[in-house]
Chain A
Amino acid sequence: MTTEQWLGLVTGVLFGFLLQKGRVLRFDKQVGAMLLKDMTIFKFMLAAILVGMVGLHVLAGLEVIKLSHKPLNVGAVLIGGALFGTGWAVMGFCPGTSIGALGEGRWHAVFAIIGMVAGAALFAELYPFLERTVLAWKDFGKVGLPEVLGISPWPVVLVLWVGVVALFFWFEKKGV
């Protein structure tokens, strides 16, 4: 294996380990979040975002790493986001967690994985059509929210920290 593949594997093992320990791989946790009964997934994701965004913006500010935004292609993000939300609710897994769920024995994730591989193949067939239609509507390009607002990333980071920590206290008060 190449360095690239080894690095990916090690990162993935650590990622999978933490996903499992956080108990976020399970169908009931994912659907529980969407039924607003169990906030485990939100706590996990938001905690990761709070920590990650500080480190990534420090490193990007020092020009050690480069940020890589995904394009804000309006039609694609809106329609794709809605399609994903629909499929996610029914499937009860997202792409990364389906693989992890299989690792902890929830073997019905195999059906979700088969469906997603088929969906990817279908997307590859539809791609030329989508490029002429949905993907061509309006693309705002690879932009960060701070650039859109015309400010440095740090006020945005601060506002998110304050808001999300308040949300965490509310979750704990409600016992969800």
Chain B
Amino acid sequence: MIGNRKDGGWSPYLAGGLVGVLAICSALATTKLLGKTSYLGASTSFVRAAGFVERLVAPEHVSSNEYYAETKVRVDWQFMLVSGILLGAFLAALTDRSFRWESVPPTWQERFGPSVAKRAAGAMVGGVLAMLGARMADGCPSGHGLSGMMQLSASAFVALFLFFGVGVLVAGLVYRRRHS
């Protein structure tokens, strides 16, 4: 169950278990150093990123928007955490030479062909829907799926069930080859 795998990565049980340890240490560190317990999450940072972008073209609009005011458009702990994921993934990929430039993932290509434009369109439409959903539900697979479940939050059980339940249904419709 644990150890080296044919794709060169770590066992998902080991890597996941260590994320559990990280979540515990992070809750402790934020409480001790920042005075307030913070939990791993990602999707709120996309709101802040949107706020930064919009500020470049319409600063008044951002300052008058209720949601941006509530979220506070600034480089906070979670924004740096999400930025850190980029660096951490890059470093990990370097250690086992798994860094690859990929423009269209294999599963997508099997179903929709090698067109980058199609993949871009799918990713963007999916991204808009997913983020609308994540902000409405107040969390994503990090905030609800990991942090919420670890805390046994009632909302996390419902959210994670829907994330995967609907994901399975839609993935079945989108990626399964139709037999002629």
Residues of A within 8 A of B (CB): 1, 3-28, 31-36, 40-41, 43-53, 55-57, 59-60, 64-73, 76-109, 111-128, 130-131, 134-135, 140, 142-148, 153, 156-157, 168, 172
- In the bound assembly, the distance between CA atoms of A142 and B5 in angstroms comes to 40
* Residues A13 and B116 in contact, CB atoms below 8 Å apart: no
* Residues B145 and A70 in contact, CB atoms below 8 Å apart: no
In the complex, whether B72 has a CB less than 8 A from a CB of chain A is no
In the complex, whether B60 has a CB less than 8 A from a CB of chain A is no
Tell me the dominant secondary structure on chain B's binding face.
helix
* Residues B141 and A7 in contact, CB atoms below 8 Å apart: no
Interface size on B, residues (CB 8 A): 131
* Residues B22 and A156 in contact, CB atoms below 8 Å apart: no
In the complex, whether B56 has a CB less than 8 A from a CB of chain A is no
* Residues A82 and B140 in contact, CB atoms below 8 Å apart: no
Across the interface, name the chain B residue whose C-beta is closest to A128: B66
Q: Which residues of B contact A34 (CB under 8 A)?
A: 164, 167-168, 170-172
Known: A89-B170, A120-B49. 13 other contacts (CB 8 A): A17-B91, A27-B107, A27-B108, A47-B17, A47-B19, A50-B17, A59-B27, A70-B139, A99-B42, A104-B93, A115-B130, A121-B50, A143-B154
Q: Which residues of B contact A172 (CB under 8 A)?
A: 1
Q: Which residues of A contact B169 (CB under 8 A)?
A: 85
Across the interface, name the chain A residue whose C-beta is closest to B106: A28
Q: Which residues of A contact B155 (CB under 8 A)?
A: 69-73, 77, 143
B135 touches which of A85, A104, A120 (Cβ 8 Å)? A120
Q: What are 10 A-B contacts defined by CB distance under 8 Å? A: A26-B105, A34-B164, A45-B149, A55-B20, A70-B159, A82-B162, A90-B170, A104-B100, A113-B127, A147-B154
* Residues B88 and A12 in contact, CB atoms below 8 Å apart: yes
In the complex, whether B63 has a CB less than 8 A from a CB of chain A is no
Residues of B within 8 A of A (CB): 1, 5, 7, 9-24, 26-31, 33-34, 37, 39-40, 42-43, 45-47, 49-51, 53-54, 65-68, 75-93, 96, 98-108, 116, 119-120, 122-159, 161-172, 174-176
* Residues B76 and A111 in contact, CB atoms below 8 Å apart: no
* Residues A15 and B22 in contact, CB atoms below 8 Å apart: yes
Lowest 10 CB-CB distances: which A-B pairs, in order?
A12-B84, A115-B127, A16-B88, A51-B20, A87-B130, A85-B166, A81-B162, A119-B131, A80-B136, A91-B126
Q: Which residues of A contact B131 (CB under 8 A)?
A: 87, 95, 115-120, 123
* Residues B163 and A88 in contact, CB atoms below 8 Å apart: yes
CB distance from A21 to the nearest CB of B (A): 4
- In the bound assembly, the distance between CA atoms of A68 and B165 in angstroms comes to 25
Q: Which residues of A contact B10 (CB under 8 A)?
A: 21-23
Query: Taking each of B85, B136, B171, B172, which has the highest tally of chain A beta carbons within 10 Å of its own beta carbon?
Result: B85
* Residues A100 and B37 in contact, CB atoms below 8 Å apart: no
The answer to whether A59 and B28 touch (CB under 8 A), given A50-B17, A87-B131, is: yes
* Residues B28 and A18 in contact, CB atoms below 8 Å apart: no
* Residues A81 and B159 in contact, CB atoms below 8 Å apart: yes
- In the bound assembly, the distance between CA atoms of A11 and B171 in angstroms comes to 32
Q: Which residues of B contact A6 (CB under 8 A)?
A: 80
* Residues A28 and B82 in contact, CB atoms below 8 Å apart: no
- In the bound assembly, the distance between CA atoms of A127 and B161 in angstroms comes to 24
- In the bound assembly, the distance between CA atoms of A32 and B167 in angstroms comes to 11
